[in-house]
């Protein structure tokens, strides 16, 4: 029965992803915080091809932290922070899940939008950023954060078939995934548990928009992929906001350029350079984020990434950002063309003035010569 199911071994990983810099030099960062660091790679327990890897591999840092209570649970007295070269970090709090399975919906609801954990995560990021020094290029912690919870259950006290999680225990699983302590409707239960997959006969992975549930003794590789996807979602949101700001600035610059009445006093060049910088920075960040993890072949981890991408709607974010980058490119081209036209107009005026002067010179007393 669902009410008597007990967890013998398991951990909840509460994730908080932050945008902290334009880029992070991971080699320099590793030297500056050499203690308690390791380079993270996908362990390839699922027979993933050799080309399945991070490029470059993120840096994982372990820091001491205060244990924070969460209802009947508490976080471990340490946090793990994963640093990515594209300027993002992911803070992870571990919570021991030993106890009744029916207690997890309350924990999931407690984690959803938990202000205390969020504030502590931001303090940990500020602390780490201070230690990074010049390894963080153009450091700045963004105002928003992308949080996510991964519940990893390694073993139940009594045998439980993976299929039972989307049949017998589907209601509890849905509450965990939707961070709801109250019972859900059958429609909501079906929608929450629909996105699941398994590699073997003794594991199951459920992925939703705010939480994931892994019934797996070796779930580190799956967790790493989900953590990266959550960080990519943060970067997509950040880049989308940044492009909105860039478009507003570009439209304003283009309007000022269009309203310029005196070509000889044209100041378009700084505006063109500024739009070019915005376009280049955004395009580089977009390329780094979307190519951080190489997935080749019909492998289990690739399926996991595809499933979490659909839940996070990363393809929609990708299309939106691509469209905005193209719009900025169009504005940049118009500004360059307009600036070139203005320069031609200035040259034409100079030529007209020189021709006029050459015509008038012979008729001006004392200037026309003999």
Taking only the tens place, the pLDDT of each residue in 181-192 is 999 999 999 999
For residue 292, what pLDDT is reported? Answer: 60
The mean pLDDT value for 255-265 works out to: 54
The mean pLDDT value for 104-110 works out to: 96
- Decide if pLDDT at 175 tops 80: yes
Instruction: Provide the token pair at 127.
Output: 């602390």
pTM: 0.81
Q: Which of 87, 158, 147 is nearest to 117 (CA)?
A: 147
- Decide if pLDDT at 172 tops 60: yes
Q: Which of 118, 194, 128, 123 is nearest to 149 (CA)?
A: 118
Query: Does 96 or 53 have the greater pLDDT score?
Result: 96
- Decide if pLDDT at 264 tops 70: no
For residue 362, what pLDDT is reported? Answer: 79
For residue 294, what pLDDT is reported? Answer: 59
What tens digit of pLDDT does each residue of 200-235 get? 888 999 999 999 999 998 888 899 889 989 998 998
Query: Does 111 or 328 have the greater pLDDT score?
Result: 111
The mean pLDDT value for 75-100 works out to: 94
The mean pLDDT value for 40-47 works out to: 53
Assess contact for 114 and 89: CB atoms under 8 A: no
SS3 168: coil
Assess contact for 21 and 87: CB atoms under 8 A: yes
The mean pLDDT value for 65-79 works out to: 94
The mean pLDDT value for 125-141 works out to: 91
Q: Which residue has the tokens 């209570």?
A: 69
* Cis-peptide, bond into residue 17, ω within 30° of zero: no
First to last CA, the chain: 116
The residue ranges of DSSP E strands in the chain, in sequence order, are 6-19, 23-24, 37-39, 53-54, 59-64, 69-70, 73-83, 88-96, 99-100, 136-137, 146-156, 196-197, 204-207, 211-215, 293-294
Assess contact for 165 and 101: CB atoms under 8 A: no
- Dist. CA 13–CA 224, nearest whole Å: 11
For residue 265, what pLDDT is reported? Answer: 43
Q: What are the angstrom distances between the C-alpha of 286 and each of 89, 165, 235, 236, 250?
A: 16, 37, 8, 8, 19
Lowest mean pLDDT among 152-161, 282-291, 317-326: 282-291
With bands split at pLDDT 50, 70 and 90, how would you rate the model's confidence at 295?
low
């Amino acid at each position: 029965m669902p009410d008597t199911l007990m967890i013998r071994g398991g951990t909840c990983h509460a994730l908080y992803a932050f945008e902290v810099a334009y880029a992070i030099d991971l080699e320099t960062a590793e030297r500056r915080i050499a203690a308690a660091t390791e380079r993270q790679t996908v362990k390839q327990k699922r027979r993933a091809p050799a080309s399945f890897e991070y490029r470059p591999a993120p840096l994982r840092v372990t820091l001491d932290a205060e244990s924070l209570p969460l209802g009947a649970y508490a976080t471990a007295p340490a946090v793990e922070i994963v640093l990515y070269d594209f300027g993002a970090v992911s803070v992870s709090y571990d919570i021991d899940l030993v106890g009744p399975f029916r207690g997890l919906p309350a924990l999931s609801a407690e984690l959803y939008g938990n202000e205390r954990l969020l504030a502590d995560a931001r303090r940990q990021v500020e602390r780490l950023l201070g230690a990074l020094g010049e390894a963080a290029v153009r450091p700045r912690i963004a105002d928003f954060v992308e949080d996510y919870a991964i519940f990893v259950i390694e073993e139940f006290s009594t045998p439980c078939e993976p299929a039972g999680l989307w049949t017998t225990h589907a209601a509890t699983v849905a509450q965990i995934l939707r961070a709801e302590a109250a019972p859900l409707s059958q429609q909501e239960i079906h929608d929450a548990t629909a996105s699941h997959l398994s590699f073997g006969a003794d594991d199951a992975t459920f992925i939703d928009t705010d939480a994931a549930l892994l019934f797996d003794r070796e779930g580190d590789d799956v967790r790493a992929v989900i953590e990266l996807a959550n960080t990519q979602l943060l970067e997509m949101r950040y880049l989308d906001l940044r492009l909105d700001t860039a478009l507003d600035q570009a439209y304003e610059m283009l309007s000022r350029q269009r309203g310029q009445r005196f070509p000889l006093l044209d100041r378009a060049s700084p505006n063109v350079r500024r739009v070019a910088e915005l376009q280049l920075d955004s395009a580089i960040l977009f390329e780094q984020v979307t190519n951080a993890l190489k997935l080749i072949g019909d492998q289990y981890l690739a399926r996991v990434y595809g499933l979490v991408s659909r839940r996070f709607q990363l393809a929609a974010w990708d299309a939106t950002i691509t469209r905005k980058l193209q719009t900025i490119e169009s504005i940049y081209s118009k500004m360059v063309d307009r600036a070139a036209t203005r320069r031609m107009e200035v040259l034409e005026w100079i030529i007209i003035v020189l021709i006029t002067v050459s015509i008038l010179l012979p008729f001006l007393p004392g200037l026309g010569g003999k």
